Amino acid sequence: MFDGITTDVETTVSDKTEYVKMDKLDEIRARCEAATLGPWEYKTNRHPNLNGTPWGWIDGPAGNMCWSGYQSRIDADFIAHAREDIPYLLAEIERLKKHSENLRLDYVDLLDRAEKAEAESRWIPVNERPPEKLGRYLTAYVSTCYKGDNPKKHVGELDWAGEKCGWLINGLHKVTHWRPLPEPPKGE
């Protein structure tokens, strides 16, 4: 019923469906947990390089890492924020995985209930099986005295009196289908 459901997270990048592998996330999590705790900051030296490009360093508890150039400055900002960004993203992935699993379980439950409701409310052909209990049912029946190609069809409540007596209906009609009566409305 759930062919194709995977523990991997499906993502769409540039109109191409890819899967984030959970073991890859475990590797990222391990690197994150092994890294020096923050805060990390990127700093820019107020004096540029001889060629005019900026330079600076990433300041953190484990010491400084230097950077140089415009792109390196952007990269340094990215690296400096990774210490806070990656744990945040990993936590969000975990939250979404749990949410996804809850949605999947809700879907399974709704599907089961829908299948049960459909089975309980479907019209049952009389040649498939009669009702199991005596009582009143919603029935579909046709006029037996009509001599055309399209006999008049009717829907109404009739009583089932068991295998010996059958449906309590006049001889001019033949029951073709039946189903249990719906529950009456609640309230007023």
**Can you give the pLDDT at residue 2?**
37
**How far is the C-alpha of 49 from the C-alpha of 52, rounded, in Å?**
5
Residue 20 sits in the same domain as residue 97: yes
Q: Which residues, in sequence order, are CB contacts of 102 under 8 Å at separation 6+?
A: none
Residue 94 sits in the same domain as residue 132: no
Residue 107 sits in the same domain as residue 65: yes
Q: Which domain holds residue 166?
A: 124-180
Residue 109 sits in the same domain as residue 74: yes
pLDDT, one tens digit per residue, over 95-108 is: 998 999 999 999 99
Residue 187 domain flag: no
Out of 4-8, 104-108, 162-166, 173-177, least confident range: 4-8
pLDDT, one tens digit per residue, over 119-154 is: 878 899 999 999 999 999 999 998 877 676 777 888
Residue 91 sits in the same domain as residue 103: yes
